[in-house]
Amino acid sequence: MDERTVMLNMLAQELRPIEQGVEWFEALPAETRFEVLQDLREYCIQAAATEEDGPESVRRAGLRPTHTPAVLITRGQPNVQLPKIIALPQDERVKSFRLLVALLGVADDRRRERFCVRVCNHAWHRLASGADPGTATA
């Protein structure tokens, strides 16, 4: 797993504070920030984010329900809304980042509870143990 993937998964699992993630995200060049949002979109889809995850994601992200990314994620299917969220203007990118990290956390929590209770081969689920994350992706 590359450093960016590790960072995003640590943030989603709340192994690092979101404020640290926001500082990291804001320090990236604009093009790289967009790539990070694209990665998060893919990870959320892989984690099977659902419409029901929207409100909890908004809460975890610390966003007001009226913020544009929050409105979008609560309007319908994530696979339709996520491309809209990552395409928002530059001034919405930090809010989008916070929201997508939270959405990944909510969806991955559910995936972990349902499918990774006894045996788990997901490298990103071993980050808390300090085990080598290997080459897997989210």
| Rounded CA separation 66/85 (Å) | 14
- 95 inside domain: yes
Provide the residue type at 69 as one letter: P
- 138 inside domain: no
- 136 inside domain: no
> Which tokens in the block code for residue 99?
């929201």
pLDDT tens-place string over residues 90-126: 999 999 999 999 999 999 988 876 665 666 554 444 4
- 122 inside domain: yes
- 134 inside domain: no
Whole-number pLDDT of residue 130: 53
Return all residues near 44 (Cβ < 8 A) that are at least 6 apart. Answer: 78, 82, 100, 103, 104, 107
- 82 inside domain: yes
Domain that holds residue 60: 3-126
- 131 inside domain: no
Whole-number pLDDT of residue 117: 60
- 41 inside domain: yes
Site of tokens 């709340």: 14
Number of domains in the chain: 1
> Which tokens in the block code for residue 57?
């994601």
| Rounded CA separation 113/76 (Å) | 24
Q: Tell me: pLDDT of 15 over 60.
A: yes
